[in-house]
Amino acid sequence: MKKKMSRTNNKQIAFAFVDETGIAGNTKTQPFFGVGIFVTSKTTILNKELHDVLVKALSYYKITKDRFEFKFNLIHKKNVQFYKKIVRILKNYQSNWNFSMVIEDKQGDSWTQTQLWENYLSKVKIILTEIKEETVVIADYLSKPNVAKESFEDITQIPHILNVMQLESQGSLLLQVADILLGAIVFLLKRGKHSEKKLIAREVKKLLKDKKMRVTRLSRSPSTFFYTTTDINCQEIWKR
């Protein structure tokens, strides 16, 4: 973690949990590349509620938490009950968090790992720039290519970003929440068919719609959209 500066007032610090989806290669199964960021200052209460769900899941599967994590792509018939509970928690505390994402249709392009890294950082910055609070950023670990000029720590050049950290998502339930929300929207964009995933994706869509998520087009080529529940002027996915 890179230290930047300490607070000069008593304002609450927000925590931004960053997840990404997509790969550098060209594949019909992963046509999109996106970044989603879950932002909250109520980490303690949300973690407690989510941890209660985790404990029930671990008991159900009779495994230890070092071998388990919640991911949208892992939803199936036997575990969908736990994802419903997670969405319910987010609904109960919906005034205490926001979620934003930038999703790009790669249109069949293949990228180098450096291009993917640069694209990733660009999308992270687009979202973080819109956050108004002083913020600590915690991101799912993504390796920086050796030839890439910019590091993840360079995000602290954004004035209100106090600190950054990368870690494996298995170690953070709130990173796993970012994965579920981002994965749900990408699943809808791909018009996925899996029944349990579709169920959770629709619940996530309703949740975000209730939070008045807005959509704006950032570019037409490549086709890129910015989705956010924060107070920004933005319409598209709700037609699906």
d(CA 130, CA 97): 14
Count of C-beta atoms within a 10 Å radius of residue 192: 14
- Give the chain's domains with CATH numbers: 7-239 (3.30.420)
Nearest to 195 by CA among 22, 85, 61, 75: 75
The pLDDT of residue 215 is 86
d(CA 228, CA 211): 9
Helix axes 195-210, 80-92, angle to 10 degrees: 0
Q: Residues 63-99: pLDDT tens digits? A: 888 889 999 999 999 999 999 999 999 999 999 999 9
Global pTM value: 0.91
Q: Residues 94-131: pLDDT tens digits? A: 999 999 999 999 888 889 999 999 999 999 999 999 89
What is the amino acid identity at position 191? R
Q: Residues 125-166: pLDDT tens digits? A: 999 998 989 999 999 999 999 999 999 999 999 999 999 999
Q: Residues 2-19: pLDDT tens digits? A: 445 455 456 789 999 999
